[in-house]
């Protein structure tokens, strides 16, 4: 088996409680809660930002202390019925398990509870709450953001255990251990950059490290510098995939709402990728029409600074993509948007054009816009074809050599014009 195809986050997931790094206080609080737990006690709600070991601790503790784990995550929470079927059964059958197996019992483990969405999860949250209150087994909930209003009652019913981001030196040490195991030489600075960018998220640090270091013998700090860009792209690609593959406009809307990408950039990126996503021109035209209407509202927002209109922009974009009724197929998305990339490449030329236009405007009593439209194309022809006239024009307009080059199209010709 090809070892490198395995995710290091899995390979190096802690096997023992003692291996779980950081959050010593939360760890002992959780173990204490579990040790003392008896029916009627509160459930535990482990909370904190992603990738800092909440789920890992629960799994490792269950194994080490001899519990079996009945696990559910956000996708299972949709309806009350489903929650009751899985968790409810586990909760009441605990006594049987306890008698006939050698485990101490069962932990009901509900991961990502804040991933439950209100309207669609009919009764899901209420059911989780019910299980948490009446279970014969300890119930552990994990959430990133426990302050979500929908989790209000959950907070009262649970013992709250807070997890903090993993400190940088701890992350660096962890990565060093992996590097040693994998036989990779790493500059300390490289690890420091990775750890810093991870902002306490050990999981993403390991993922970043793997993507950078895999199949290398040596990782330098300079190899790591390019990482920020890649992170952002990853988010854009995720959002685009979620957006275009959404089955309902509500899903599409959610993909946009929950994206970390700046909306202006996202909007442009969707526009840029429409032709790739929609092969059928009529369908693409429908989506584009919605994008155009959304842009009109964007214009109003920017002029009036009334950002309260933003939801309508998102609505138009997400309902627009549904109107096309096209079956989703995966395409390789383009980012950054074609035009943004072109703008970057052409920045020097654009400033040069502005300067040339300013010179023309001063001499010929016209705006830069007219200079660009009604002078530059003609001047270019003259500069390409008549060095002598170009030379006297350059004098008259007071063009410098760079400007002459802009109009002549090549450095060589510009030099010849200057000499003549």
Q: What does DSSP assign to residue 149?
A: G
The answer to whether residue 323 forms part of the interface with other proteins (CB under 8 A) is no
Per-residue contact track with other proteins, 195 to 234, x per CB under 8 A?
Answer: ----------------------------------------
Q: Are 321 and 244 in contact (CB under 8 A)?
A: yes
- Residue choice 101, 364, 402, 420 for contact with other proteins (CB under 8 A): 364
Measured from the CB atom, the residue of 65 and 376 that comes closer to other proteins is 376
One residue of 216, 350, 402, 412 binding other proteins per CB under 8 A:
350
Asked if residue 389 binds other proteins (CB under 8 A), the reply is yes
| Measured distance CA(216)–CA(210) in Å, rounded | 10
d(CA 42, CA 251): 34
Dihedral (CA of 218, 221, 222, 224) sign: positive
Using rule CB under 8 A, residue 353 touches other proteins: yes
342 class by beta-carbon count within 10 Å (0-12 exposed, 13-18 middle, 19+ buried): exposed
Q: Given the DSSP bridges, would you call strands 185-186 and 218-219 parallel, antiparallel or unpaired?
A: parallel
C-alpha closest to that of 13 among 268, 246, 207, 194:
207
Nearer to other proteins, 196 or 384 (CB): 384
Query: Within 133-172, which residues bind other proteins (CB under 8 A)?
Result: none
Residue placing its CB nearer to other proteins in the complex, 250 or 389: 389
- Contact present, 49 and 165 (Cβ < 8 Å): yes
Residue of 69, 157, 331, 382 that binds other proteins (CB under 8 A) = 382
- CB nearer to other proteins: give 164 or 396: 396
Could you tell me if residue 9 is left (phi over 0), alpha (psi between -120 and 50 degrees) or otherwise beta?
A: alpha
DSSP for residue 20: S
Among 17, 368, 413, 415, binds other proteins (CB under 8 A): 368
- Residue 230 makes CB contacts below 8 A (sequence gap 6+) with 211
Cα atoms found within 13 Å of the Cα of residue 220, Cβ hemisphere only: 2
CB of 76 to other proteins, least distance (A): 40
Nearest alpha-carbon partner for 212 in 184, 240, 232, 252: 184
DSSP letter, residue 165: P
Q: How distant is the alpha carbon of residue 323 from its chain centre?
A: 26
The smaller minimum CB distance to other proteins, of residues 47 and 267, is found at 267
Q: Least distance from C-beta 365 to other proteins, angstroms?
A: 5
- Radius of gyration in angstroms for the set of CA atoms belonging to the chain, rounded to a whole number: 30
Binding other proteins (rule: CB under 8 A), the pick from 69, 366, 413, 416 is 366
- Closer to other proteins by CB, 209 or 335: give it: 335
Stretch binding other proteins (CB under 8 A), from 13-21, 44-52, 161-169, 380-388:
380-388
- Selected from 8, 33, 174, 267, the binder of other proteins by CB under 8 A is 267
- For residue 154, give the nearest of 165, 166, 139, 175 by alpha carbon: 139
**Residue 235 or 338 with smaller CB distance to other proteins:** 338
Q: Report in angstroms how near the CB of residue 119 gets to other proteins at its nearest.
A: 31
Q: H helices within 324-375, ranges in order?
A: 338-345, 347-364, 368-374
What mask of x and - would describe binding to other proteins in positions 390 to 419, judged by CB under 8 A? --xx--xx----------------------
27: left (phi over 0), alpha (psi -120 to 50) or beta: alpha
Residue 169 or 299 with smaller CB distance to other proteins: 299
**Toward other proteins, which CB reaches closer, 161 or 356?**
356
Q: Which residues pair with 161 in a beta bridge?
A: 46
Residue among 121 and 405 whose Cβ is closer to other proteins:
405
Q: Which stretch binds other proteins (CB under 8 A): 107-115, 117-125, 266-274, 304-312?
A: 266-274
Print the binding letters for residues 273-302 with other proteins: x by CB under 8 A, - otherwise: -xx-----xx-xxx-xx-xxx-xx-xxxxx
Which residues form the interface with other proteins (CB under 8 A)? Answer: 267-268, 271, 274-275, 281-282, 284-286, 288-289, 291-293, 295-296, 298-302, 338-339, 342-343, 346, 349-350, 353, 361, 363-370, 372-375, 377-382, 385-386, 389, 392-393, 396-397
């Amino acid at each position: 088996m090809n070892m490198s195809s395995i995710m290091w986050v899995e390979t190096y997931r802690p096997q023992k409680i003692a291996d779980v790094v950081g959050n010593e206080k939360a760890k002992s609080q959780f173990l204490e809660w579990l040790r003392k737990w008896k029916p009627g006690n509160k459930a535990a709600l482990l909370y904190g930002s992603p990738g800092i070991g909440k789920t890992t601790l629960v799994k490792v503790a269950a194994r080490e202390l001899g519990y079996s784990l009945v696990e559910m995550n956000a996708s299972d929470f949709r309806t009350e019925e489903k929650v009751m079927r899985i968790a409810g059964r586990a909760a009441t059958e605990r006594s049987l398990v306890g008698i006939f197996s050698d485990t101490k019992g069962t932990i009901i483990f509900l991961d990502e509870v804040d991933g439950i969405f209100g309207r669609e999860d009919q009764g899901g949250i209420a059911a989780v709450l019910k299980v948490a209150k009446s279970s014969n087994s300890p119930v552990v909930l994990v959430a990133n953001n426990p302050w979500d209003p929908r989790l209000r009652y959950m907070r009262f019913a649970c013992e709250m255990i807070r997890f903090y981001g993993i400190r940088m030196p701890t992350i660096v040490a962890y990565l060093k251990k992996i590097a040693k195991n994998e036989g990779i030489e790493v500059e300390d600075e490289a690890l420091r950059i990775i750890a810093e960018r991870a902002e306490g998220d050990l999981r993403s640090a390991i993922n970043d490290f793997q993507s950078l270091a895999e199949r290398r013998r040596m990782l330098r700090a300079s190899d790591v510098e390019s990482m920020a860009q890649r992170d952002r792209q990853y988010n854009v690609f995720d959002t685009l995939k979620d957006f275009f593959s959404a089955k309902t406009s509500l899903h599409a809307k959610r993909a946009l709402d929950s994206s970390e990408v700046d909306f202006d950039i996202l909007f442009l990126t969707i526009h840029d990728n429409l032709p790739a996503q929609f092969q059928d021109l009529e369908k693409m035209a429908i989506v584009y029409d919605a994008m155009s209407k959304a842009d009109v509202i964007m214009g109003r927002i920017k002029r009036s600074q009334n950002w309260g209109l933003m939801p309508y922009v998102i609505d138009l974009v997400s309902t627009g993509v549904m109107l096309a009724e096209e079956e989703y197929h995966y395409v390789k998305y383009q980012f950054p948007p074609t035009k943004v990339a072109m703008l970057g490449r052409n920045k020097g030329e654009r400033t040069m054009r502005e300067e040339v236009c300013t010179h023309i405007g001063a001499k010929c009593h016209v705006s830069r816009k007219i200079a660009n439209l009604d002078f530059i194309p003609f001047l270019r022809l003259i500069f390409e074809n008549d060095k002598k006239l170009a030379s006297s024009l350059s004098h008259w307009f007071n063009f410098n050599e760079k400007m002459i080059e802009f109009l002549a199209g090549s450095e060589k010709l510009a030099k010849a014009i200057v000499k003549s």
